[in-house]
C-alpha cells in the first residue's frame, strides 16, 4: 500500500506495528498523547480527525522502505473481519486521572475528539509510565497539560474505563499554584475552572466515575 486514502484506528495501529513502536513511542513520533493511540487500539474503525490524518500521512511518507513494505504486507488482503482478528492488540495501559479542586471549583480540560465528533470536556489525565507511581504521574501530567501544580489529597479508586477499556486510576487533588493554561494544543482546545456544582453540565453524569461525584459533593 503506497497511499492511504483514509486512516482508521486499525491502519494507524498497523503502522505502529510496522514501525515496531510502543504506544508511547508512537504517540511521541506523532506528537500526540498515548490516550489517542489507546483509543485507536480500542476502536479499530474510528476515523481520526483531519489533523491526525495529516500527522499519520507524514510519519508514513517519511518511514524507511522496509517499514513501508512491512506495512503493505500487514494490510494486504485484509477485510474488516481479518483486520479485527490480525490487527495489533492494545498494550497494557494505565492512565492517571486528576480531579483538582480549588475552593468551589474543579479543573477541566476540553479535548479534541479522537474522531470527527467534535470536542469533549474531561478531567486532566496522563499515561502512567512503567516504573512511575500513579501519584507522581498524576501531579506531573496535570502540570504538563494545564500548568497547574497540585497535591494528592486521596485516592478515589480505579477501574477499566467502560468506553476504552483503559485502566484508569483516579485521585482527588488539591490546587497549589499556577494559572490554568492549555499547554497541549494538539490534544486540547481549552483548560478552565468550573464550579463543582456545574461539572455535570460539561460532562454527563453517567460518564463520570461515581466516586468522583461523591467526593465533589462531600467537598462542597
Residue-wise pLDDT for 34-85, tens only, equals 778 877 887 788 888 888 888 999 999 999 988 888 888 888 754 444 444 4
Which three-class secondary structure state does DSSP give residue 166?
A: coil
Region class of 205: left (phi > 0), else alpha (psi between -120 and 50), else beta:
alpha
Over residues 113-120, the mean pLDDT reads 61
End-to-end Cα separation, the chain, in angstroms: 56
Specify the range with the lowest mean pLDDT, choosing from 64-73, 111-120, 152-161: 111-120
CA separation for the pair 189, 179 (Å, rounded): 16
Among the listed residues 32, 48, 37, 46, the one whose alpha carbon sits nearest the alpha carbon of residue 13: 37
- Residues contacting residue 158 through CB under 8 Å, at least 6 positions apart: 167, 168, 169, 170
In the block, which residue shows the cell 489533523? 51
Going from the N-terminus, what domains does the chain have, and what CATH number goes with each?
9-86 (no CATH), 94-219 (3.90.79.10)
What cell does 205 get?
453524569
Q: Are 166 and 160 in contact (CB under 8 A)?
A: yes
Confidence (pLDDT) at 77? 57
CA separation for the pair 102, 128 (Å, rounded): 24
Compute, in degrees rounded to 10, the torsion defined by CA atoms 127, 133, 136, 141: 0
Over residues 91-99, the mean pLDDT reads 81
Amino acid at each position: 500500500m503506497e497511499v492511504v486514502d483514509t486512516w482508521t484506528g486499525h491502519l494507524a495501529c498497523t503502522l505502529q506495528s510496522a514501525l515496531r513502536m510502543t504506544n508511547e513511542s508512537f504517540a511521541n513520533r506523532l506528537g500526540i498523547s498515548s490516550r489517542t493511540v489507546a483509543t485507536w487500539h480500542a476502536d479499530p474503525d474510528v476515523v481520526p480527525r483531519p489533523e491526525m490524518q495529516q500527522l499519520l500521512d507524514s510519519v508514513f511518507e517519511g518511514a524507511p522502505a522496509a517499514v513501508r513494505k512491512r506495512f503493505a504486507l500487514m494490510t494486504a488482503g485484509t477485510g474488516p473481519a481479518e483486520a479485527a482478528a490480525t490487527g495489533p492488540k492494545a498494550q497494557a495501559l494505565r492512565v492517571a486521572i486528576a480531579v483538582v479542586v480549588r475552593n468551589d471549583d474543579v479543573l477541566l480540560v476540553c479535548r479534541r475528539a479522537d474522531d470527527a465528533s467534535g470536542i469533549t470536556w474531561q478531567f486532566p489525565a496522563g499515561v502512567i509510565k512503567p516504573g512511575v507511581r500513579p501519584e507522581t504521574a498524576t501531579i506531573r501530567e496535570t502540570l504538563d497539560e494545564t500548568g497547574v501544580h497540585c497535591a494528592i489529597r486521596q485516592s478515589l479508586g480505579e477501574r477499566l474505563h467502560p468506553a476504552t477499556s483503559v485502566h484508569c486510576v483516579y485521585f482527588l487533588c488539591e490546587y497549589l499554584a499556577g494559572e490554568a493554561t492549555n499547554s497541549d494544543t494538539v490534544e486540547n482546545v481549552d483548560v478552565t475552572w468550573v464550579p463543582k456544582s456545574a461539572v455535570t453540565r460539561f460532562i454527563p453524569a453517567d460518564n463520570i466515575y461515581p466516586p468522583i461525584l461523591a467526593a465533589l459533593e462531600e467537598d462542597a
